[in-house]
Amino acid sequence: MREGTGHFLAHLDALADADLAAPTALPGWSRGHLVAHVGYNARALGRLVHWARTGERTPMYASTFARDAEIAEGAGRPAPELRAFVRQTAEELWSALAGLSGDQWRAEVVTAQGRTVPATQIVWMRCREVWVHAVDLGDGATFGVFPPELVDRLLTDVTAAWTQRGQEPALILAPEDRRRTWSVELTDRPGSEVTGTAAALCAWITGRGAHGVRTADPGAPLPVPGRWL
């Protein structure tokens, strides 16, 4: 998480203030929206830390509307203010997490998707947020520079969630640079085998493009992945 935060901020620092108005590949979002989201995500996860520490139920967001409204408001801030905000909120979250005790780390909280998880998962939720959104800044960051263990954890995370939800499509991910596979198992039929590097597969299943990804059967079309969270 700490390394990913530094990675995100380094790519943000490489952008000029005027660049924050440019669109991203995320529908309807400029880079300013993206940076605001990362900042407000830290605040939202901080509410879960508060919940774990005190037992007071404090959801990540009051509503989807409230979440979208604060991102829109944040995107309209001057670029220097937005840059300072994303740094400040990252440090606030880090400090809040550092204050949790052993029992508090095991306390249950509820994610924005409605899943009940131990507070230890807050770290992972933030970790994937900063690494993946560094790619979304669109200034050259790729999944190829992610630590291998992070790529593997993302593949595990997404395929497990899809299997649990029974989400299409059924898949067998067979990275050419790993000695294992990841599966999305649906009971009514076998999965399509898809290959490429682990990083390319990770980008594909998180909706960040299909470059370098192909089916094991050359004549078969590449499946269309659904939402990853």
Give residue limits of the domains in the chain: 2-141, 146-215
- Give the mean pLDDT of 17-35: 97
**Cα separation, 62 vs 154, whole angstroms:** 27
| pLDDT at residue 119, rounded to an integer | 98
| The domain defined by 146-215 carries CATH number 3.40.50.300 | no
**What sign does the CA torsion over 154, 158, 163, 168 have?**
negative
Mean pLDDT of 81-96: 98
Place of tokens 């499509």: 169
pLDDT at 58: 97
Percentage of residues in the chain having pLDDT higher than 70? 99
User: In this model, does residue 189 exceed pLDDT 80?
Assistant: no
Cα 158 from chain centroid? 10
Band (208; pLDDT cuts 50, 70, 90): very high
Question: Above 80 in pLDDT, residue 187?
Answer: no
Superfamily per CATH, domain 2-141: dinb family like domain (1.20.120.450)
105-124: average pLDDT: 96
CA distances from 125 to 1, 4, 33, 85 (A): 9, 12, 19, 19
Q: 83 Cβ partners below 8 Å, 6+ apart?
A: 12, 13, 35
**pLDDT over 90 for what percent of the chain?**
90
Amino acid identity, residue 55?
G
